[in-house]
Structure 1
Amino acid sequence: MMAIVRPVVECTRTQVDNGRLCLGDPAEPHHHEALTITGRTAQAVAAVLCCA
């Protein structure tokens, strides 16, 4: 699971504004893309937890 989460955390630490896209204004240009990435990450974590 750390292999999935670590890159996300590292990116959010260096590019703080990217992390805010998921929680921010839906009118932001990359809001939908950020939510898509968040959803894929959640699915990957769920797959690891369900199959581990």
Structure 2
Amino acid sequence: MLIRNSGRVLYFINGKALKNFLKLGRKPLQTKWTNFYNKQKAVRLGGEKK
């Protein structure tokens, strides 16, 4: 769990996710193994099939 100065609370499932976000500066939208990326991909592909 990480609490930012703004008061926003970020929860991480494990150390890998925490390190990727904080130390490596990776964004969940661009990281293929995150749930957020997979949801956005489903939205993109769902629109192309029509």
Decide: shared fold, TM above 0.5: no
What TM-score comes out, normalization by structure 1 length?
A: 0.35
What TM-score comes out, normalization by structure 2 length?
A: 0.36
Structure number with higher strand proportion: 2
Structure number with higher helix proportion: 1
